[in-house]
Amino acid sequence: MADEPGRGTDAERDIDTGIHSREIEREVSVAEVMNKAVIIMDINSDIPAIAREMVSRDAGSVIITENGKAMGIITERDFVKGIVTEDRKPGEVKASEILSTPLITVKPETSVIKTSEIMLKANIKRLPVLENGTIIGVVSNTDILMVTPGLSTILKDLIDMNREALLSTPSVEEITEEFITGICESCFYHSADLKLVDGMYLCENCRQEEGENYE
């Protein structure tokens, strides 16, 4: 079957998509599209207070901290999964019970293409942006698509190319080479560099004490 006039061949479209992808990756970083108005609340905050803050600020997520350290993130999806579907009363649920942890984060200079790939693999819509151990923003899939509308075509291609892999549940280390932030399960200190080792999230010091250098 002949190609339709004006549409070009599959090869030409693949080349165009590849060029567009490289241009976006080179020119647009997460820092340029992220939302800097990050909502941060303590892990002891009650769920109704967290929900009210999200509604009042028209936000889709809240970063949860303990003693000033980022522990995880709560999104609308977490409310649905942890409260609504379980038919629980919000006032009786602790933030620690529904937050997503450990945090998968990206650097400010991470490209929107790389960020989109992480979102696809992890099946998440928002990623905190971490700089020098501090969360400076949150980027969502909507933020990316609003400034790079052509990326929707690239995302579709990524999904089609990786459909089988995306249908499986990846481990954290398969999701991203970026930072994993949370509490080390050995020393119980906060770390912005956790890695999954033998089923436990360990900081760099504890990984070295285990006799392995995973860097």
| Domains of the chain listed by start with CATH number | 30-209 (3.10.580.10)
102-156 tens-digit pLDDT: 888 888 998 888 888 888 877 788 899 988 888 999 998 888 877 766 656 655 5
Cα–Cα distance, 52 to 41 (Å, whole number): 12
pLDDT at 156: 59
pLDDT above 90 for 205: no
Q: Which residue has the tokens 């990786």?
A: 162
Are 119 and 125 spatial neighbours (Cβ–Cβ below 8 Å)? yes
What's the mean pLDDT in 62-89? 90
Q: Exposure of 6 by Cβ count < 10 A (0-12 exposed, 13-18 middle, 19+ buried)? A: exposed
176-190 tens-digit pLDDT: 445 577 767 777 666
118 CB-near residues (< 8 Å, 6+ apart): 104, 106, 127, 175, 176, 178
Are 33 and 137 spatial neighbours (Cβ–Cβ below 8 Å)? no
pLDDT at 101: 81
